[in-house]
Every structure is written in C-alpha cells, then in structure tokens.
C-alpha cells in the first residue's frame, strides 16, 4: 500500500525513533515494534492507551501524553467494542502538527485481554484491560472475602491469557488473617494468595515483584477493596482518588471512574479499574475449566463422560462432596457459572445470527436494486 502523498512528504525525523523513548518502560518490546513497523512506514508513531472511558482515550507516545481520537476509518470498520482502542492497547497514532488532536489509526493485535460480559451493552462485552501479564484479583480480607466472586474473577482471568494473583487487602482490619487466607487458598488452586495492608504499605513488595521486566498488571475486584490504595502505596503519593465505602449506601458507587494505566517506580505498570458490581461471563468455558481444574480432574473418573454431576450414578464429583473432599458450595458455584456461560453463548450466537440475517437482507436489497437499475429484474 502506498501512503498518501502528505504522509510520504513528511520529514523523516517525524518517523518514530527506535526504540521510542519512554515506551520501553511501559512495556514496548520487540513484539510491538514488529507489529508496529508497517504503521511506522505511514509516518505514524507507536503509543499506548493509558486511560479510557466511554470512547475517549488518552495515549502516551514518544511525544508525551495526549487525548486522542479514533480515526474515522477505524471506527467505521470496527465490528464492535473489541476492535476499538482500550486501556493497555498499543496503537498507531498520527500526530501531524496540523491535526487538532492525535488520531488513532490502528490497534495492534492484542497479546491478552480481560473481557467481561456486559449485559447493558448491545455488543454484550467490555474489555477491561488489554495486553496484561498479570491480573490482580483484589478483595478485602475482613468482610470476609467473597469466595464465589473470587471464583468468577479467576474464571475471567484465566480466560484473558494473563496469570491471576489474588491480593487480600486490609489485613489490619482482620482478626484472623490466616483463616481468611486459607479459605481463599482452598478455592485458588495453584494461584498465589497475597496479603496486604496497603494503607501502611505492608506486603506491597509482593506486587512490584510481579511487575519486573516492564510487565503490565490490571487490578480488578469490588469497589472499596483497596485497588487505588495499592497504587497510591506503591507511588508513595495520593495520586488515585480513594474513598471510604459505606455499606449502607455504597451500592452501585465506585470511586475510580476511568480505567487508567499508571507507571510504577522501579518498573512495570498497573491498570486501575472501577470496582464493578456485575462481572458477567463471556460465554466461553475455558476460563471456568481452569479455575475449577480440581472438579474437572475429579470428573474424569465419573462413569459418564457427559456427567452433569447432578443425578447420574457413578459420579466421582458427588462422591468427593459426600466424603468431604470437595465443598458443596464450590460444586454449586461451578455449575452456576457453567450454566451462565452457556446462556451467554446462546445469546451471542443468536446475536451473530441476527447480524448475519441483517447483512443478507441489505445485500438482497442491493442486488434487487441493481437488477432493477440495469433492467434485468
């Protein structure tokens, strides 16, 4: 493809210097440099989306931080929100001086993404963060931790392509830290469970440790869990807004409103997200399988390969519940998530079919018009 004239004629100093200053610290690597190369030939610069909220994006490029807009062609060709830039994305940006704001022309193929089902959106999904290496699942220890929600978040995390780590916060408010940690560990399988008191900056080294090598991690978890407090603790300043959450009227409120990528001193970046009340599944069962590997392992010994662990004879999973080796709540949780996932998958299929039908109708009309105009109808 030949770049348009104005882009060809741009002085070569406008083409991205290599490696782009400052981008390596936030994760720019060989992979991104290779994926970016064809865009560099067009005179665009590589950038990372560091903040996104309802369609607006702030990017960090070698030119600094700027609010950017999605180029018309990219928006037009996007089939849904998955094709549009989101926090953590690496993008190709036009920063020509005659532009009012930088224009995002392309989103580089993602290495990973944590996606949640979002029943309020027509598309049904929302990307919480892209190109992440680690998902920190943050929960207050004192409440006590909501095991069922952690299982759901583990499923979404395994689905993302990044490795989950559970972070229990507010250790200072718990009378029995070890009991809470063990309860969570019992459902976490191989996943690490860390304990912190972010207000006193205790246990935060375990977080930075996992960011070495310019890695990217996202913080997810309920509102008030202390996600932003962890970031502030690591920065040593009150950068992110935090707020006491009052249980009585705290429903549906969150302090953090935009998803934001923050550079951590000593290396790596953390993406802060608003605590969400509903974290829907996306219709895939792979994440659930990973999060419930213990049950899936037991299921291999069930008499029937398609055992639902409900009424079938010779069910090894039910036997494990009866003998006390498997908590019944965990089995119920597993079945609930699978069912939810199947419902979402069916809806997604129906949506895809409707879209296909709509396309065919439009195409059919176009063919009819064409025949009419050319007198062949």
Ligand X SMILES: Nc1nc2c(ncn2[C@@H]2O[C@H](COP(=O)(O)OP(=O)(O)OP(=O)(O)O)[C@@H](O)[C@H]2O)c(=O)[nH]1
Residues that bind ligand X (CB under 6 A): 169-170, 172-173, 197-199, 223-229, 242-245, 254-256, 274-275
Which of residues 52 and 228 has its CB atom nearest to ligand X in the complex? 228
**Nearest distance from residue 204's CB to ligand X, in Å?**
10
Q: Is there binding between residue 302 and Zn ion (CB under 5 A)?
A: yes
Q: Given candidates 50, 262, 317, 326, which one binds Zn ion under the rule CB under 5 A?
A: 317
Rounded Cα gap, residues 355 and 342, in angstroms: 20
The answer to whether the beta carbons of residues 280 and 119 sit under 8 Å apart is yes
Rounded Cα gap, residues 70 and 93, in angstroms: 9
**Nearest distance from residue 46's CB to Zn ion, in Å?**
50
Which phi and psi angles does 147 have, rounded to 5°?
-60, -35
Q: Is there binding between residue 315 and Zn ion (CB under 5 A)?
A: yes
Which of residues 258 and 316 has its CB atom nearest to ligand X in the complex? 258
Q: Is there binding between residue 295 and Zn ion (CB under 5 A)?
A: no
Residue 195 binding partner per list Mg ion, Zn ion, ligand X, none, with a CB distance cut-off of 5 to 8 Å that depends on partner kind: none
The count of residues in the chain is: 377
Two structure tokens written together for 367: 């063919």
The answer to whether the beta carbons of residues 262 and 227 sit under 8 Å apart is no
Rounded Cα gap, residues 184 and 131, in angstroms: 27
**Nearest distance from residue 198's CB to ligand X, in Å?**
4
Residue 309 binding partner per list ligand X, Mg ion, Zn ion, none, with a CB distance cut-off of 5 to 8 Å that depends on partner kind: Zn ion
Which of residues 210 and 309 has its CB atom nearest to Zn ion in the complex? 309
Which of residues 162 and 302 has its CB atom nearest to Zn ion in the complex? 302
The interaxial angle of helices 147-160 and 177-188, nearest 10 deg, is 50
Q: Whose CB is nearest to ligand X?
A: 275
The answer to whether the beta carbons of residues 351 and 124 sit under 8 Å apart is yes
Residue 317 binding partner per list Zn ion, Mg ion, ligand X, none, with a CB distance cut-off of 5 to 8 Å that depends on partner kind: Zn ion
Rounded Cα gap, residues 230 and 206, in angstroms: 11
Which of residues 297 and 356 has its CB atom nearest to Zn ion in the complex? 297
Q: Is there binding between residue 273 and Mg ion (CB under 5 A)?
A: no
**Nearest distance from residue 116's CB to ligand X, in Å?**
14
Nearest one of 72, 29, 54, 82 to 46, comparing CA atoms: 29
C-alpha 103: how far from chain center? 23
Q: Is there binding between residue 232 and Mg ion (CB under 5 A)?
A: no
Q: Is there binding between residue 126 and Mg ion (CB under 5 A)?
A: no
Q: Which stretch binds Mg ion (CB under 5 A): 53-61, 98-106, 146-154, 228-236?
A: 228-236
DSSP letter string, 21-49: TTTGGGT--HHHHHHHHHHHTTT-EEEEE
> Strands 103-107 and 90-94, how do they pair?
antiparallel
Which of residues 162 and 225 has its CB atom nearest to ligand X in the complex? 225
- Residue recorded with tokens 């882009």: 7
**Nearest distance from residue 95's CB to ligand X, in Å?**
32
**Nearest distance from residue 275's CB to ligand X, in Å?**
3
**Binding characters for Mg ion, 239-268, by CB under 5 A (x = yes):** ----------------xx------------
The answer to whether the beta carbons of residues 86 and 129 sit under 8 Å apart is yes
The answer to whether the beta carbons of residues 57 and 104 sit under 8 Å apart is yes
Two structure tokens written together for 149: 């929600």
Rounded Cα gap, residues 354 and 34, in angstroms: 37
Q: Is the dihedral of CA 90, 216, 139, 192 positive or negative?
A: positive
Which of residues 254 and 318 has its CB atom nearest to Mg ion in the complex? 254
**Nearest distance from residue 222's CB to ligand X, in Å?**
7
Residue 302 binding partner per list Mg ion, ligand X, Zn ion, none, with a CB distance cut-off of 5 to 8 Å that depends on partner kind: Zn ion
Two structure tokens written together for 113: 């993404």
Residue 315 binding partner per list Zn ion, ligand X, Mg ion, none, with a CB distance cut-off of 5 to 8 Å that depends on partner kind: Zn ion
Which of residues 61 and 232 has its CB atom nearest to ligand X in the complex? 232
| Residues near Mg ion, by CB under 5 A | 227-228, 255-256
| Residues near Zn ion, by CB under 5 A | 302, 307, 309, 315, 317
């Amino acid at each position: 493809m030949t770049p348009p004239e104005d882009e060809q004629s741009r002085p070569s100093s406008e083409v991205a210097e290599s490696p782009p200053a400052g981008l390596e610290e936030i994760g720019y690597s060989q992979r991104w440099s290779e994926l970016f190369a064809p865009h560099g030939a067009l005179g665009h610069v590589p950038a990372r989306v560091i903040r996104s909220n309802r369609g607006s994006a702030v990017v960090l490029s070698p030119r600094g931080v700027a609010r950017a807009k999605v180029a018309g062609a990219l928006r037009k060709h996007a089939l849904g929100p998955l094709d549009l830039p989101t926090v953590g994305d690496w993008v190709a940006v036009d920063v020509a001086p005659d532009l009012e704001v930088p224009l995002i022309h392309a989103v580089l193929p993602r290495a990973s993404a944590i996606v949640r089902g979002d029943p309020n959106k027509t598309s049904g999904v929302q990307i919480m963060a892209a190109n992440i290496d680690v998902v920190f699942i943050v929960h207050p220890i004192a409440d006590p931790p909501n095991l069922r929600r952690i299982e759901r978040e583990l499923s979404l995390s395994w689905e993302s392509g990044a490795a989950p780590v559970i972070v229990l916060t507010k250790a200072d408010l718990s009378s029995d830290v070890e009991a809470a940690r063990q309860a969570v560990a019992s459902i976490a399988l191989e996943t690490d469970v860390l304990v912190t008191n972010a207000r006193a900056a205790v246990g935060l080294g375990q977080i930075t440790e996992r960011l070495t090598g310019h890695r990217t991690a996202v913080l997810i978890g309920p509102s008030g869990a202390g996600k932003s407090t962890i970031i502030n603790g690591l920065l040593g300043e009150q950068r992110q807004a935090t707020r006491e959450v009052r249980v009585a009227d705290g429903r549906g409120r969150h302090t953090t409103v935009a998803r934001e990528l923050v550079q951590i001193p000593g290396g790596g970046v953390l993406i802060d997200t608003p605590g969400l009340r509903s974290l829907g599944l996306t219709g895939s069962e792979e994440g659930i399988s990973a999060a419930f590997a213990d049950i899936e392992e037991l299921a291999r010994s069930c008499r029937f390969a398609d055992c639902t662990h409900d009424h079938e004879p010779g069910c090894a999973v039910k036997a494990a519940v009866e003998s006390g080796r498997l908590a019944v709540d965990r089995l119920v949780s597993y079945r609930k998530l699978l069912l939810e996932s199947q419902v979402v998958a069916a809806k997604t299929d129906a949506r895809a079919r409707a879209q296909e039908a709509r396309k065919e109708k439009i195409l059919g009309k176009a063919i009819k018009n064409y025949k009419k105009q050319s007198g062949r109808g």
